[in-house]
C-alpha cells in the first residue's frame, strides 16, 4: 500500500514553473502526470538500507538564474573547476537553471546539438520528445516520478549519424545556492555509428542540504560508441539519488567510468540495457566511503540481444563509520544466446566500524551463455604489504600505495586529463592523504 506523504511540490507549483520556463505543453503534461504517479508509487526498495529514513524531502526552490553569455561571467570557483581543459564542447549549469554552453564551431557544423535541455525541449522539440524518458520511465518508482515532475535544467546532447567526435564534451553541474533546486536531467542521443565521449562533473558546496535527484539517459543507436565518465562530488548535506541508464541497439557500445566521491548519502544505479545483438557495456565504478555516509551503489546489465557483452567492476574503499552496499546485477534474458556477462565487486575495509557488503547477482534465463562474478570484501593484503616493506618502503607509505593502487586502474580511465586529476585529488582527500 502506498503511503500518502507530502510531495515536495504541488500541481500549481509545476504549472507556474512551466509558465516561467515557457515549457511546451507536452512537457508540462508529462510533469503533472509524474507528480500524480509520485503520490501513488513507492520508494525503490534498497538492499539492507532504508531509503525512507534518508533526508530525501528537500528539493529546494527553482531559481531561474541569470543569462550567461561568457565564461567570464561565471564565479571564480566555477572557472577553477574548468581549469585549462580544452574540450570539444563545454556545458556549465549552476543551481537550477543558470547555464553556459559552448560548442566548437567545427563540431556544431556536423549537426551536433549540445544545449540546455529546457531550451532544447522548445527548439528541438520533436527530437527531445521522442527520446526523453524513453530509457528511464517516470513511473518506475517514487524517485523517478519526482524527478520527472521536478527536474531542473539539464543537458540535451545529440550526435548525428556517422559523426565521430575525437574531443570529449565536458559538463560541470554545480550547486552553490543552498535554497535552489538542483535535479538535472541529462539526455544523450547518439545516432547510428556515431561516437562521443562525455565527461561530467557534478558537485555542490558544503552546507547545502538538498536532494540531488538526477537522471542520465543514453540512447545508443546501432553501431554507436560512447564513453561516459562521471564524477560526483556532493557535500555532506546533499543526498544523491541518481539513475544512469543506457539503451543500446545493435552493435552499440558504452563505457561507463564513474567516481562516486560524495560526502553525503548516495544511492546510484548505473544500468546498461543490451537490447541489440552484439551490443556491449563496460562499467568501472569507484568510491571511497567516509564519515557516516551511506552508499548504495548498483551496477546492472540486462542482456536481451544475442552475443551481447557486459563487464562491470566496482571498487570501494571504506573508512570511518561509512556503510556501503555494492550490488552487481547481471541478467541474461531468454533468447540472448552467446551473451557474456562478467562482474567484479571489491571492497577494501580500512576501519573496523565501517561496513561493506558486496552482492553479486547473476540471473540467467538462457543456456548457451557465459557469466561470471567475483566479489570480495577484505582488509589490506598482508602479503602485499610485507612485499612492499621488504623493499624498504615504510608501512604508512606502503599502505598509501596499496590503497590508492586499489582504485587507480579506474581513475586512469577518465578520458579528460583535468577530471582525472580532480578525481585523483578527491580520492586522496577522502583517503585522508592530503
Partner 1 sequence: MSELNFTIKGLKAKVQDKEILKGIDLQIKGGEVHAIMGPNGTGKSTLASVLMGHPAYEVTGGEVTLNGDSVLDMEVDERARAGMFLAMQYPSEITGVTNADFLRSAINARRGEGNEISLIKFIRQMEKAMQELEMDPQFMHRYLNEGFSGGEKKRNEILQMKMLEPKLCILDEIDSGLDIDALKVVAAGVNSMRSPERGFLIITHYQRLLNYIRPDYVHVMMQGRIVKSGGHELAERLEREGYDWVKEELGIEDETVGKEETFQMPMNTIAPKL
Where in 297-316 is the site for partner 1 (CB under 8 A)? none
Tell me: does residue 427 bind partner 1 (CB under 8 A): no
As measured in angstroms, the least distance from the Cβ of 401 to partner 1 is: 5
As measured in angstroms, the least distance from the Cβ of 431 to partner 1 is: 13
As measured in angstroms, the least distance from the Cβ of 350 to partner 1 is: 8
Please identify, using beta-carbon distances, which residue of 68 and 377 lies nearer to partner 1.
377
| Piece of 68-76, 240-248, 358-366, 394-402 that binds partner 1 (CB under 8 A) | 394-402
Dmax (CA) of the chain: 69
Q: Which of 5, 134, 162, 394 binds partner 1 (CB under 8 A)?
A: 394
Tell me: does residue 406 bind partner 1 (CB under 8 A): yes
Q: Which of 121, 215, 288, 407 binds partner 1 (CB under 8 A)?
A: 407
Please identify, using beta-carbon distances, which residue of 10 and 381 lies nearer to partner 1.
381
As measured in angstroms, the least distance from the Cβ of 351 to partner 1 is: 9
Q: Are 296 and 271 in contact (CB under 8 A)?
A: no
Please identify, using beta-carbon distances, which residue of 292 and 408 lies nearer to partner 1.
408
As measured in angstroms, the least distance from the Cβ of 354 to partner 1 is: 13
**Size of the residue set binding partner 1 (CB under 8 A):** 30
| Piece of 18-26, 195-203, 320-328, 398-406 that binds partner 1 (CB under 8 A) | 398-406
Q: Which of 405, 417, 432, 433 binds partner 1 (CB under 8 A)?
A: 405
Strand-by-strand arrangement of the 195-204 sheet? 98-103, 89-94, 169-175, 195-204, 225-233, 253-260, 280-289, 309-318, 340-349, 370-378
Q: Would you state the cell numbers that stand for residue 352, as one nine-digit string?
A: 573496523
CB atoms within 10 A of CB 344: 19
As measured in angstroms, the least distance from the Cβ of 404 to partner 1 is: 7
String of DSSP letters for 182-244:
---EEEEEE-TT-EEEEEEEEEE-TT---EEEEEEEEEE-TT-EEEEEEEEE--TT-EEEEEE
Please identify, using beta-carbon distances, which residue of 61 and 404 lies nearer to partner 1.
404
Q: Which residues pair with 332 in a beta bridge?
A: 303, 364
The pattern of x and - marking residues 373 through 392 that bind partner 1 according to CB under 8 A reads -----xxxxxxxxxxxxxxx
> Which residues, at least 6 apart from 276, have a Cβ–Cβ distance to it below 8 Å?
222, 248, 249, 250, 251, 252, 305, 308
> Which residues, at least 6 apart from 83, have a Cβ–Cβ distance to it below 8 Å?
418
- Rounded to whole angstroms, what are the CA distances from 131 to 105, 149, 246, 256, 412? 25, 17, 12, 20, 32
Tell me: does residue 257 bind partner 1 (CB under 8 A): no
Instruction: State how far the Cα of 230 lies from the Cα of 213, in Å rounded to an integer.
Output: 15
Q: Are 333 and 308 in contact (CB under 8 A)?
A: no
> Which residues of this protein are in contact with partner 1, per CB under 8 A?
350, 378-395, 397-399, 401-402, 404-409
Amino acid at each position: 500500500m502506498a503511503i500518502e506523504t507530502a510531495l515536495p511540490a504541488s500541481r500549481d507549483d509545476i504549472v507556474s514553473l512551466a509558465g516561467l520556463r515557457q515549457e511546451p505543453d507536452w512537457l508540462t503534461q508529462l510533469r503533472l502526470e509524474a507528480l500524480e504517479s509520485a503520490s501513488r508509487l513507492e520508494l525503490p526498495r534498497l538492499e539492507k538500507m532504508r531509503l525512507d529514513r534518508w533526508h530525501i524531502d528537500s528539493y529546494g526552490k527553482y531559481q531561474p538564474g541569470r543569462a550567461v553569455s561568457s565564461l567570464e561571467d561565471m564565479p571564480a570557483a566555477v572557472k577553477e573547476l574548468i581549469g585549462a581543459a580544452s574540450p570539444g564542447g563545454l556545458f556549465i549549469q549552476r543551481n537550477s537553471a543558470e547555464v553556459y554552453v559552448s560548442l566548437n564551431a567545427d563540431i556544431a557544423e556536423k549537426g551536433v546539438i549540445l544545449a540546455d535541455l529546457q531550451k532544447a525541449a522548445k527548439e528541438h522539440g520533436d527530437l527531445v520528445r521522442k527520446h526523453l524518458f524513453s530509457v528511464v520511465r517516470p513511473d518506475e518508482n517514487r524517485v523517478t516520478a519526482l524527478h520527472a515532475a521536478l527536474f531542473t535544467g539539464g543537458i540535451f546532447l545529440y550526435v548525428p549519424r556517422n559523426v565521430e567526435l575525437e574531443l570529449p564534451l565536458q559538463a560541470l553541474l554545480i550547486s552553490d545556492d543552498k535554497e535552489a533546486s538542483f535535479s538535472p536531467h541529462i539526455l544523450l542521443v547518439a545516432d547510428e555509428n556515431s561516437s562521443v565521449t562525455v565527461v561530467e562533473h557534478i558537485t555542490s558546496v558544503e552546507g547545502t542540504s538538498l536532494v540531488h535527484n538526477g537522471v542520465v539517459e543514453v540512447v545508443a543507436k546501432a553501431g554507436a560508441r560512447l564513453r561516459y565518465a562521471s564524477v560526483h562530488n556532493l557535500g555532506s548535506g546533499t543526498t544523491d539519488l541518481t539513475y544512469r541508464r543506457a539503451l543500446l541497439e545493435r552493435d552499440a557500445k558504452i563505457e561507463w567510468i564513474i567516481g562516486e566521491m560524495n560526502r553525503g548519502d548516495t544511492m546510484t544505479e548505473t544500468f546498461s540495457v543490451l537490447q541489440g545483438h552484439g551490443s556491449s557495456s563496460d562499467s568501472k565504478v569507484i568510491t571511497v566511503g567516509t564519515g557516516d555516509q551511506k552508499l548504495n551503489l548498483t551496477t546492472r546489465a540486462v542482456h536481451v540481444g544475442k552475443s551481447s557483452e557486459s563487464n562491470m567492476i566496482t571498487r570501494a574503499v571504506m573508512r570511518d563509520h561509512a556503510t556501503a552496499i555494492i550490488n552487481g546485477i547481471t541478467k541474461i534474458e531468454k533468447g540472448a544466446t552467446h551473451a557474456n556477462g562478467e562482474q567484479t565487486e571489491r571492497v577494501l575495509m580500512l576501519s573496523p566500524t565501517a561496513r561493506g557488503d558486496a552482492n553479486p547477482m547473476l540471473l540467467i534465463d538462457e543456456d548457451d551463455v557465459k557469466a561470471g562474478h567475483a566479489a570480495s570484501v577484505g582488509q589490506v593484503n598482508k602479503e602485499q604489504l610485507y612485499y612492499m616493506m621488504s623493499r624498504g618502503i615504510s608501512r604508512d607509505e606502503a599502505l598509501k600505495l596499496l590503497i590508492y593502487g586499489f582504485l587507480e586502474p579506474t581513475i586512469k580511465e577518465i578520458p579528460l586529463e583535468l577530471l582525472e586529476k580532480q578525481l585523483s585529488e578527491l580520492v586522496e582527500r577522502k583517503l585522508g592523504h592530503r
